[in-house]
Amino acid sequence: MPVYRTVPNPLSPEAELELREQLKRCSPETLESVLHYRKTGDPDGVSQVVIGIIERFLDPEVRPRLRAGGDGLRIFDDLGIDSLTMVEVVMLVEDVLQIKINNDELRDLRTIGDVKTYIDCRVKGLPLPERPVHVHVAEILAIMPQQPPFLFVQEATLRSNEARGVYKIAGDESFLEGHFKGNPVLPGSIMLEALGQLAVLFLLKTKRPELTAPVSPAKIFFTSCDGVRCQRICRPGDILTLTIKPKRIKHPLGMFEGHITCGTEKVAFAEEICLTFDYLAPGEVVGGNGQHASNGEQGRSSGEQGAGSRESKPASIATDVPVANRILPK
Amino acid sequence: MPKVVVTGLGFICPIGNDQATVVNSLRGQRHGLTAYSRFEGPNIPVRVAGLVKDFETESPDPEDWKYPAQYKIKRETLRGFAPHVLFGYCALTQAIADAKLKPEDVSNLDTGMFTASAGSAMMLHHNLSRMEKHGVMKCSPLGIVASVVGTLSYNLVAAFKILGSSCGFASACASSGHALGFAWEEVASGRQKRMLVVGGEDGNLETILPFAGMRALSLNPDPNTASRPFDVARDGFVGAGGACAMVLETDEEAFKRGAPVYCEMPGWGMASDGYNVAISHPDGSGLIQAMRVALRRSGLEPGEVDYINAHATSTPIGDTSELRALKAVFGTNHIDTPAISSTKALTGHGLSLASILEAGFCAAAIKHGFMPGSAHIQNLDPEAAGLDIIRETVNERPHVVMSNSSGFGGANVALVFKSAT
């Protein structure tokens, strides 16, 4: 991991004039923060500079969202910043902060929090944060023992100590017909299930030091949960951001904390979700399209533990488009 | 074969930024030419240009531009624009409203868009200069789409969410004639039910001044006489900018929507001189052929044409060859020949914009019932003898109209419009 150290060049009057011109469409506070940083090298206000520069590229009606939203705000989905606008943001940041941002590092910046952390590390000369792994719907379908219509993670970003996932409530989920009559509301049990599924993905996909072998997708089950609170009613069209963090992982148990947000609003919180897991047995064959998908009996999801074994299909493979379509956001 | 009709027009041009103003300027022969401040310099022999009013687009940064408040354009849309794309966006917005098209009438598989533009010399120059000075990684990520020849197409097709056919045409001063002609083919053949056609030109120093090097521009500093097609003393064209948009659709589709119909477009023709890269054939051979093909495809005889909007740009050579071509097709019996004028006396020459702008004038002339006179002629070129060059506006509705355009390489286009009733 390269360590960057940024020392701003002394600011000449000409350079200051150019800075003012470059930042003429940013807020006065942003300009002041840049001048402060360039004159003193004090990095404390720098993440606010970046937010100010992002704000300058947003449509006026989207700007309040940036100001209200937390670090979890997604640059593309929540703010509508496409990759070309991101290049404009980066060019201006590079110019005014005198740093260089690489294309491949740029691709990892998905949320406002990612951007703040990245810039902070760069100007303070700290090591860059771990690069997250992005898992898309096709891979989720290939990896997970849960499958549609009982899969509630549509994309995910994994780090060694955190997983984030997205579930968009499409509105055609069968359980919404009866929950409730003429009044579709996402069940709290499904929220808990979604967090459990994200934890399953974490166990299957993350290489944690506590895991001494690959985890078998057929051997992960729900055991318990504690301190679950639901805070917001969620309906079709809502896009839920799922987050889990491992609290303790020691074979055969994994304990996680989890929470769900919708935009900037809190949806649900679980102090502890506990899963039991086992490793792939020597010689155990994994079906589907490769090493991950399960064969034979599928692991049951957290919500249906004790529901008895049922006949289950082998996991869908990544190219199974019709299945993929069923859980893609509509 | 379905009939193709014109149902919408939009104008951003030197003689007006809306149809009513444009029609008043044409009727009253009020020109839109002015002294251009960027032409003030010891090394610039040219003074006059046809500039678009109420727009400020001199900066290469679209966020610096000023334009009428009625047009609401998001930054993410505007950032890839060149000046003429902004003009085109506004003209197309007018044409869509004029044709009473709803967003779903514009964005569907049966509706396409053809455009004509030569790209933006200003944006290209700015971006390449920046690349040389600061390096390529300091250039705007939208620099290419704002600069190169397809810029009008890329931007408007995306901004208006076009799902049908789309393409940009680049054949210099015949470009937007080709765009209209091929849009006609698209609708007449049944491939599309509706086509939006847009032509545009920045019309700034970078676009116009290079023509001085080929001695094609008028050096006359008086805006009132610099552009005078068919006058013996004409000394070159006056460059202009702007945009024009036209909606073509099947008569069935127009009827179904209850859309107002300007006129029918019964056909068009094109042919080439095969002669010189920049000089028109002395006898107008390609233009003669283009006009004959247009009449044949429209099922019309030369004697049925009431009015011709000539290409005539006010250059000594070009106007002469067009006059010869007109005489070859329509004869020299002044009484039976169509009324002829060049509206470039009022607008200047809009290059890639010219053909559709004049086609728009023709459609408006049929609807509003007039034939615009050829302004600024003091001494008619004797070459015009036998032709009916109208110097004043005639307040009669022409029923069959032809609009000519000729471009570099000797590309010629003739478009035909006729009243729908």
CATH number of domain containing B10: 3.40.47.10
Encoding tokens for residue B332?
């020299």
Asked if B106 and B196 count as a contact pair (C-beta separation under 8 A), the reply is: yes
Beta strands in B47-96 (DSSP E): 48-50
The answer to whether B130 contacts chain A (CB < 8 Å) is: no
Closest CA to B376 of B346, B356, B399: B346
Q: Check: CB of residue B419 under 8 Å from CB of residue B263.
A: yes
Query: How far from chain centre, in Å, is Cα A51?
Result: 19
Looking at residue A132, its pLDDT comes to: 84
Q: Would you say B360 and B246 are in contact if contact means Cβ atoms under 8 Å apart?
A: yes
Asked if A85 and B74 come within 8 Å (Cβ–Cβ), the reply is no
A84 contact residues in B (CB cutoff 8 A): 141-142
**Tokens found for residue A160:** 């060694």
For residue B141, give the nearest of A147, A18, A149, A81 by alpha carbon: A81
Kind of pairing between the strands at B339-341 and B388-389:
parallel
Note whether ipTM > 0.95 here: no
Rounded distance between C-alpha atoms, residue B23 and residue A213, angstroms? 80
Suggest the residue from A63, A79, A88 to mutate for an interface test with chain B (most B CBs closer than 10 A). Answer: A88
Spell out, as residue ranges, where chain B has pLDDT lower than 50: none
Low-confidence ranges of chain A (pLDDT < 50): 1-5, 288-330
- Cβ contact A85–B76 (<8 Å): yes
Contact B142/A57, CB-based, under 8 Å? no
Distances (CA, A) of A64 to A67, B79, B338: 5, 22, 62
DSSP string, B183-241: HHHHHHTTS-SEEEEEEEE--SHHHHTHHHHTT-B-----TTTS--TTBTT---B-BB-
- What the block records as the tokens of A239 is 């896009």
pLDDT in tens, A203-261: 999 988 999 999 999 999 999 999 999 999 999 999 999 999 999 999 999 999 999 99
Chain A positions touching B136 (Cβ under 8 A) are none
What is the domain count for chain B?
1
CA B40 to the chain's CA centroid: 27
Task: Indicate which residues of A carry an active-site annotation.
Answer: 179
What pLDDT is recorded for position A7? Answer: 52
- The reported pLDDT for the residue numbered A8 is 54
Chain B: residue whose CA lies nearest to A62 = B74
| CA dist., res. A216 & res. B227, Å (int) | 82
Is B134 among the residues known to form the active site? no
Annotated active-site residue in B13, B84, B126, B173: B173
- How much helix, strand and coil, in percent to the nearest 5, is found in chain B? 40, 20, 40
Residue B390 makes CB contacts below 8 A (sequence gap 6+) with B339, B340, B341, B371, B373, B374
Residue B132 at interface with chain A, using a CB cutoff of 8 Å: no
Residue B347 structural domain: 4-418
Beta strands at B111-116 and B166-169: parallel, antiparallel or unpaired: parallel
Radius of gyration of chain B (CA): 20
Residue ranges and CATH numbers for the domains of chain A are: 13-124 (1.10.1200.10), 134-327 (3.10.129.10)
pLDDT at A6: 52
- Distance between CA atoms of B360 and B371, rounded to whole angstroms? 13
Distance from CA of B77 to the nearest CA of A (A): 11
DSSP-derived secondary structure letter, A281: P
